[in-house]
Structure 1
């Protein structure tokens, strides 16, 4: 009887070779729940702006695990005691931190699976896997939930300087071609230390942290909040909302059975049972794209028009402004579009709408990034930095936008 070699390596364009540390991690990666991440885009519809941005959440999760291995090695080298069980818990928690993402996740969270965030679904997946793997994920779940007494372990997974952010900035920068996001994660990891079970960065790593925060700010404006990505995601949200509206009225729409189920039922966190979780695990980007290809020929004017916009990348016009768009302008555009296309003002809401986006490089309210000074005192990065404009990075910058059909120009 042949034995499967579970100590595999992956060839990654960012880090080179990524090794799987043990058989349990291999089995988790092989699980259908995790393999689904190969079919979930890391950057949603950003490929409509940056053609190379087609990498997946599978890539990202493996990258996070790899740099977590580097972080564990760096901390142990400095004398921080991390047991084998704790080490494994860190690898499992970071590997599975994004497993709850749905297709084009942010559009899904506000339309099909209403107000159930991917973090909550990730936890449900981890709890289900814990049952299947006979309790071997127990400590990882504790860490993921923030229930473990060693605070630095949660900070490595979810904080303002975690492995998740360090990987996605570097990876998204590489695949999009936007070089501003290329952070020096290796340097930051080598500068990490732990004081009283809290993660700190040694003072000589301060400039790398400053670069990291500035890179994140620039990546949000240039990539994640790019106006074309923003309007495409808004259109997709509207499509899913309209599809659900029609389905609940008894219309038969061409869609896969998992997608049809979520359109026919109102799912909340309280009703997310194992059977529903299993159905969710069968949803991926291909369900949505396949549905859009079908819906572009549907007799409903709203559903077909919006679906064609995504399929053909012929999107609504979007204008950004520092000031809020007035009700008068929005109403004027709605009235014009409804008259030209014979639809109601309520239906025109699908084509003319406004909103706002906000960007904040660093939050003073959230868990701070702590700098360990040479005199052994600990300071917040904002206070430790000698950059005069760095305090401005912790302020919210808000931009307002207006979306409307191009023919209204």
Structure 2
């Protein structure tokens, strides 16, 4: 029997808190899960620093990747005998679903911003490079690894396959919304996924939804909207991300400073500091390693690095106020000078952070990121774009919401001996927004 058709002697299952069970029968999938590059995802949290806000958010990219695979497996089972579905794409869909997040690094997006990295690029490097993952995929068929990489990169010729893991209603989003809601303990991310799976239908280039399932999709979109603003963009989580980002910037700066020597050479970071990251170095760096360095850097000679690491490790986060730099540039410039006068380096201790989200969008041809809209399959066989049929979705469609916060160490301000200086800083900060405490 060919490797791509080989089945396990009996079905394996992973007990899962969201989907109850994750079912594996294909030898290829079982082997991919066992590969070291996939096992690495156990050491990378799905939600980065969110566990400092919602203490239950300790789940990993490994959990999520299995969940996306399971949802795609169920979708494919429902598509088996339907027109437009190519049964030959089954294993490709399962592999792409399982491996779609393979290239995420520690603390994911915060880490990427500092070192100008792209997890999708590294996902393709792992799939196509000298890895166990690549070895397994190439055993399926010569060129199969490239197909998997193309699906994940959204360039694969069969757009229906791509839409299963990358669209405005895909297996990726359906898993992370439910999984993140479960582990954070909030109620926002729950929706009737079973109903959505039942009313999904394949057409030539995308998945559409039977019109009778519209209300379940409305619930899904509103769940996503609430999760972004109540969980993903939570200001306390963003405070931790700000400190994390500043630690990495400071460590990079010190590495480039000729007269500074780390007590322990930051070996795992060197290629990142130099901007010469190779795949081997990338795979060695996970959140356990990062935490190890942060723990040691609490005893470094540099006061800023030492303080920021101690704050991150012990959750002494920055406070925040509402602050729009586009409208308050004069206040920003004055604060910057006042922090310098107070000998609190504004490069590391006065940070504007902005978050924005577009919960649902209709088709906008020619835009940099074209979002394929969700289509409803009407009783007469025609397709109707969701926001034109749903008042709820229409009300938020195409509306981008942005939130700005200014982060700073209030404890340092409270310690200022110059009362006039402290009073002016506080007047600017709390004169612009309601006082908010970090809890």
Answer yes or no: same fold by TM over 0.5. Answer: yes
Shift of 1:400: 1.6
Q: Which residue of 2 aligns with 1:307?
A: 309
Q: Which residue of 2 aligns with 1:230?
A: 238
Question: Does structure 1 residue 381 correspond to structure 2 residue 390?
Answer: no
Q: What root-mean-square deviation, in Å, do the aligned CA atoms of Structure 1 and Structure 2 show?
A: 2.1
Question: Does structure 1 residue 10 correspond to structure 2 residue 19?
Answer: no
Query: What are the superposed Cα offsets for residues 89-121 of structure 1, whole Å, 9 maximum, x if unpaired?
Result: 00111111111100001111111x32x211111
Question: Does structure 1 residue 336 correspond to structure 2 residue 338?
Answer: yes
1:338–1:146 distance in 2 versus 1, CA, 3 Å = closer
Query: What are the superposed Cα offsets for residues 217-276 of structure 1, whole Å, 9 maximum, x if unpaired?
Result: 10000000000011111111111011011112243433663233322x213xxxx6xxx2
Q: Which residue of 2 aligns with 1:88?
A: 91
**Of 373, 377, 384, the match for 1:372:** 377
Runs of at least 5 residues in structure 1 that lack an aligned partner in the other structure: none
Q: How does 1:106-255 map to 2 (within 5 A)?
A: 106-111=109-114, 113-114=115-116, 116-128=117-129, 129=131, 131-133=134-136, 134=138, 135=142, 136-250=144-258, 251-253=260-262, 254=264
Shift of 1:149: 2.9
Match of 2:241, SS state, is helix
CA distance in 2, matches of 1:144, 1:78: 24
Preserved CA contact (<8 Å) 2:83 2:203: no
Structure having the higher Rg: 2
Question: Does structure 1 residue 262 correspond to structure 2 residue 272?
Answer: yes
CA distance in 1, matches of 2:242, 2:397: 27
CA distance in 1, matches of 2:317, 2:150: 44
CA distance in 1, matches of 2:327, 2:293: 33
Preserved CA contact (<8 Å) 1:330 1:353: no
1:256–1:244 distance in 2 versus 1, CA, 3 Å = closer
CA distance in 1, matches of 2:265, 2:168: 39
CA distance in 1, matches of 2:378, 2:324: 39
Match of 2:250, SS state, is helix
Preserved CA contact (<8 Å) 2:38 2:62: yes
Match of 1:286, SS state, is helix
Q: Which residue of 1 aligns with 2:432?
A: none
1:322–1:180 distance in 2 versus 1, CA, 3 Å = farther
Preserved CA contact (<8 Å) 1:322 1:398: no
Preserved CA contact (<8 Å) 1:7 1:26: no
**What TM-score comes out, normalization by structure 2 length?**
0.84
Question: Does structure 1 residue 59 correspond to structure 2 residue 69?
Answer: no
1:209–1:123 distance in 2 versus 1, CA, 3 Å = same
Query: What are the superposed Cα offsets for residues 76-100 of structure 1, whole Å, 9 maximum, x if unpaired?
Result: 24445332x4111001111111111
Query: What are the superposed Cα offsets for residues 259-295 of structure 1, whole Å, 9 maximum, x if unpaired?
Result: 33322x213xxxx6xxx20221111111111111111
**What TM-score comes out, normalization by structure 1 length?**
0.90
Shift of 1:405: 1.5
Q: Which residue of 2 aligns with 1:326?
A: 328
Shift of 1:325: 5.5
Match of 1:403, SS state, is strand
Question: Does structure 1 residue 99 correspond to structure 2 residue 127?
Answer: no
Shift of 1:144: 2.4
Shift of 1:28: 1.1
CA distance in 2, matches of 1:207, 1:19: 29
**Of 35, 41, 51, the match for 1:37:** 41
Preserved CA contact (<8 Å) 2:375 2:385: yes
Runs of at least 5 residues in structure 2 that lack an aligned partner in the other structure: 1-7, 365-370, 414-425, 427-439
CA distance in 2, matches of 1:146, 1:262: 27
Preserved CA contact (<8 Å) 2:51 2:58: yes
1:146–1:370 distance in 2 versus 1, CA, 3 Å = same
1:51–1:41 distance in 2 versus 1, CA, 3 Å = same
Query: What are the superposed Cα offsets for residues 342-391 of structure 1, whole Å, 9 maximum, x if unpaired?
Result: x6xxx42210021322122112231111111112111111112143x733
Shift of 1:324: 4.1
Match of 2:105, SS state, is coil
Preserved CA contact (<8 Å) 2:320 2:407: yes
Preserved CA contact (<8 Å) 1:324 1:400: no
Preserved CA contact (<8 Å) 2:106 2:290: yes
CA distance in 1, matches of 2:265, 2:17: 35
Shift of 1:22: 1.1
